[in-house]
Amino acid sequence: MRFLERRLLHGVLLLAGVSVLCFLFTDLAPGNFFDEMKLNPQISPETVAALRAQYGMDRALPVRYALWVRSVLRGEWGFSFAYNMPVRGLLAARAQNTLLLTGTATALAWLIAVPLGVWMAYRPGSWTDRLGMGTTSVLLALPELVLVLALLAFAVRTHALPVGGMTSPSEGQGVWPRSLDLLAHLAIPAGTLVLAGLPLLIRHVRSAMLDVLHAPFIQAARGNGVAPARVLFRFALPAAANPLISLLGFSIGGLLGGSLLVEAVTGWPGLGPLLLEATMSRDLYIVIGTVMVSTFFLVAGNLLADALLVVFDPRVRTD
């Protein structure tokens, strides 16, 4: 348990470090956000003054940081100047959409990568293996931007799938047609993410399996006449679990942070476009909030991976 405690402490320190980094950036930023806000006719001067007081914009950096930490712990994550609403609600809604997208894509990618990787490792050098490696090499070289644009162009040309956004305008439709509509919109962004993430996943699974398949105990199982499929999935895969679990942790950790590009280009209403807009409009607390939330996910993902390791890999426990 010492191991997990250390990792937890580590994660908390990491989060703190990132928040400090974010705040340092705000200090370096030229101009005062609140001056810009004052120019905005939609926000009343009283709100401005109140916010200034709440976030201590007139005080020194450490004080501002402390005030922000306090408000975060109380559940108030700042105020969005562009949307004129608290950051938290905005982030929650957008984060949900992002998770829907990345969750689907990640699950799909793993479901494809594991069997494929195992199969390729089982028959290294065969034409399936070589074809697989070649395809992954090509996919690795393709930048995500190009992938998403290509898929969009294909979808548009063939009129097969709706382009842009998460839902089509519709009212009063039932659950089933709405779900189908959602899936149709999900196809391109999720497809891009899957294609972008698949090559590395497959390679990792393959190399982890290759390492294990050369171990003596596998040779013994084979020699004892155990059926190949059983050898693969009952003996080899659990042994290869260690690096794969870490990878799973990274996959989970990247659920919030990895889809910015795809969301922005396909118009999927997730955290990505939000951050982009906030960057353009210098919406300070949205930017900080988004970075913090995705870092939190990353840390949580890594912690989950560590916890899984403790459960599945006895070697880790002897510390």
Partner 1 sequence: MLHKWKVGAAVIFLGLVHAVIIFAGFLAPYEPITQHRELPFAPPMRLHFLDSQGHWHLHPFVCEPELRPGTFYEYDESCTRQYPVRWFVTGSQYRLAGMLASHTHLFGVDPPAQIFVLGTDNYGRDMFSRILYGGRVSLSAGLLAAAISLLLGALVGTISGFYGRWVDESFMRLAELFVVLPWLYLLLAVRAFLPLHITPLHAFFLVVAVIGTIGWARPARLVRGIVLSAKTRKYVLASRGFGASDSYILRRHVLPHTYGVLLTQAALLVPQYVIAEVTLSFFGLGLNEPLPSWGNLLSVLQQYNVLVSYWWMFAPALALVIVSFSYLLGADALQRKLQPASV
Q: Count residues contacting partner 1 (CB under 8 A)?
A: 49
Q: Is the dihedral of CA 305, 311, 316, 319 positive or negative?
A: positive
By CB under 8 A, name the one of 2, 74, 157, 315 that touches partner 1: 157
In whole angstroms, the minimum distance from the beta carbon of 255 to partner 1 comes to 11
CA angle 60, 82, 19 (to 5 degrees): 40
Residue 282 within binding range of partner 1, rule CB under 8 A: yes
Q: Which two tokens stand for residue 240?
A: 């290869």
Residue 8 within binding range of partner 1, rule CB under 8 A: no
Q: Position 157: which residue type?
A: R
Q: How crowded is residue 192: how many other Cβ atoms within 10 Å of its Cβ? A: 26
The C-alpha atoms of residue 276 and residue 264 are separated, in whole angstroms, by 8
The C-alpha atoms of residue 21 and residue 288 are separated, in whole angstroms, by 10
By CB under 8 A, name the one of 257, 268, 303, 309 that touches partner 1: 257
By CB under 8 A, name the one of 6, 9, 12, 25 that touches partner 1: 25
Residue 189 within binding range of partner 1, rule CB under 8 A: no
DSSP 8-state code for residue 85: E
Residue 248 within binding range of partner 1, rule CB under 8 A: no
Residue 279 within binding range of partner 1, rule CB under 8 A: yes
Nearer CB in complex with partner 1: 244/261 = 261
Instruction: List the x/- string, 74-103, binding to partner 1 by CB under 8 A.
Output: ------------------------------
Q: Which stretch binds partner 1 (CB under 8 A): 18-26, 48-56, 119-127, 305-313?
A: 18-26
In whole angstroms, the minimum distance from the beta carbon of 318 to partner 1 comes to 24
By CB under 8 A, name the one of 6, 9, 12, 21 that touches partner 1: 21
Residues 6+ apart with CB under 8 A from 253: 297, 298, 299, 300, 301, 302, 305
Beta bridge partners of 307: none
Q: How crowded is residue 169: how many other Cβ atoms within 10 Å of its Cβ? A: 5
Residue 51 within binding range of partner 1, rule CB under 8 A: no
Query: What is the footprint of partner 1 within residues 287-316 (CB under 8 A)?
Result: 287-288, 290-291, 294-295, 298-299, 302
In whole angstroms, the minimum distance from the beta carbon of 290 to partner 1 comes to 7
Query: What is the footprint of partner 1 within residues 113-152 (CB under 8 A)?
Result: 137-138, 140-143, 145-146, 149-150, 152
**CA of residue 297 relative to chain centroid, distance:** 8
Q: Which stretch binds partner 1 (CB under 8 A): 100-108, 122-130, 208-216, 250-258?
A: 250-258
Q: Which two tokens stand for residue 176?
A: 């089933």
3-state secondary structure at position 80: strand
Residue 39 within binding range of partner 1, rule CB under 8 A: no
Pinpoint the alpha helices (H) of the chain. Answer: 2-28, 33-39, 45-55, 61-73, 87-122, 127-141, 144-158, 175-213, 216-223, 228-230, 237-239, 241-253, 260-266, 271-281, 284-312, 314-317
The C-alpha atoms of residue 56 and residue 61 are separated, in whole angstroms, by 9
In whole angstroms, the minimum distance from the beta carbon of 220 to partner 1 comes to 31
By CB under 8 A, name the one of 1, 2, 5, 28 that touches partner 1: 28
Name the residues that contact partner 1, by CB under 8 A.
13-14, 17-18, 21-22, 25-26, 28-31, 137-138, 140-143, 145-146, 149-150, 152-153, 156-157, 163, 254, 257-258, 260-261, 264-265, 275-276, 278-280, 282, 287-288, 290-291, 294-295, 298-299, 302
